[in-house]
Amino acid sequence: MTLRGRVVSLGAAGDLADGVVSFDGPLLDYVGPAKEFIGEMPPPPREPVVILPGLIDVHCHGGGGFGFPETDLAGVDAAASFHRGRGTTTLVASLVSATEAELRERIDVLGPAIDSGLLAGIHLEGPFISEHRRGAHDPDRILPGDPAMLDRLLDYAGGRIVSVTVAPETANFDALADVLAAANVVLSLGHTVADYRRSVHAMRRGWRVSITHLFNAMPELAHRDANFLTAAMAAAGRGDVVAEVIADGVHLADGTVRMVFDTLGADNLALITDAMAAAGCPDGRYHLGSLDVVVTDGVSRLYQPDGAGSIAGGTASASDVLRRTVFDAGVDLAAAVTAATATPARLLGLADRIGALRPGMRADVLVTDHHLTPLTVYKDGIPWNS
């Protein structure tokens, strides 16, 4: 397959106004200027197209009408397929706080999709988080930090768990961090009211450390009271952690998204969706784990009779988030693509295989129109038609 158009490669070729991406199998064999390509050259596209690395979403609870925390095997396939068809070639399935037995059952359901390559792994968002910043987590399923339970879950999952969200103030935090580091699992910090000192300590404890959806489910920035967010912004600015950013216009204002790109840099940010079952679906009633959710005007909230429930995940795809980051927040395309591909690939320890367009990398490719609307998705060199 030979693709021609504007290429945002994030490799030595850089951003090419007229570039070619070529592959005949699961790996890329040429990425560079069209004028230097040796082979059968396709004509320039009649309408402008943009060729990007496949998008990587490390925090997603579902989509297409199905949620990873509550659906069956067919629903897992449908949710993952929904996101792949919209440009996400590497997707981590996020769960919510649950009992050990419930999490084991979820591991069993998600396992086949991970083993087949449809999913890249599991993210446990909880249950070792703060009840004071629980967001859309069932308070009855939030637990004090239990290193033995975490170790059992990691062992049961057999390497399929790739990240775990933990609040720095939970019981036995250091022991939890040690368990994750020993297993090469990302320690993601969030859903927290930790003070500054404890937060700084936590951000130095992991094998790799991320911040679960920056600004959300944590105290607001307070210039006379340094807190978790203060520590997270500083650590991301230094490159010590990767901060997740939900740039969907709901979780963060567009100006806030532009601010974090300008101050922290794309190499330290990972664009995520935090999508739940309603992504790509009409307004209505849904579930997120054990909780009821209502979606109104595309905004998902926990069901409350007065309509004032907490935001409960997102309804955007990764390509929606990328498009909004560029056209509404005004972030440079290369920077936005870095945060949507290269940075999350590095966070997962997969930067040598995915997250950029370079010869020898996986042929995970997204072709869009000039508005960044997906046209064609390739996974391991195979077009995705779902």
Contact predicate 365/40, CB 8 Å: no
Q: What is the DSSP string of 31-44?
A: EEEGGG--S-PPPP
| DSSP structure class, residue 332 | -
What letter represents residue 47's amino acid?
Answer: E
Say whether 224 counts as a known binding-site residue: yes
Q: What is the DSSP string of 89-135?
A: EEEEEEE-S--HHHHHHHHHHHHHHHHTTSS-EEEEE-SSS-GGG-S
| Tokens (6 digits) for 264 | 């922290």
Say whether 83 counts as a known binding-site residue: no
Say whether 313 counts as a known binding-site residue: yes
Say whether 175 counts as a known binding-site residue: no
Say whether 202 counts as a known binding-site residue: no
* Active-site annotation, residues: 274
Tell me which residue has tokens 């068809």: 85
Tell me which residue has tokens 């998008």: 55
Residues 6+ apart with CB under 8 A from 374: 85, 86, 87, 319, 366, 367, 368
Say whether 312 counts as a known binding-site residue: yes
Say whether 205 counts as a known binding-site residue: no
Contact predicate 301/307, CB 8 Å: yes
Say whether 123 counts as a known binding-site residue: no
Taking the C-alpha atoms of residue 144 and residue 167, their distance in angstroms, rounded to an integer, is 10
Say whether 59 counts as a known binding-site residue: no
Say whether 275 counts as a known binding-site residue: no
Say whether 220 counts as a known binding-site residue: no
Binding-site residue positions for Zn(2+): 125, 191, 213
Binding-site residue positions for substrate: 136, 216-217, 224, 251, 311-313
Binding-site residue positions: 125, 136, 191, 213, 216-217, 224, 251, 311-313
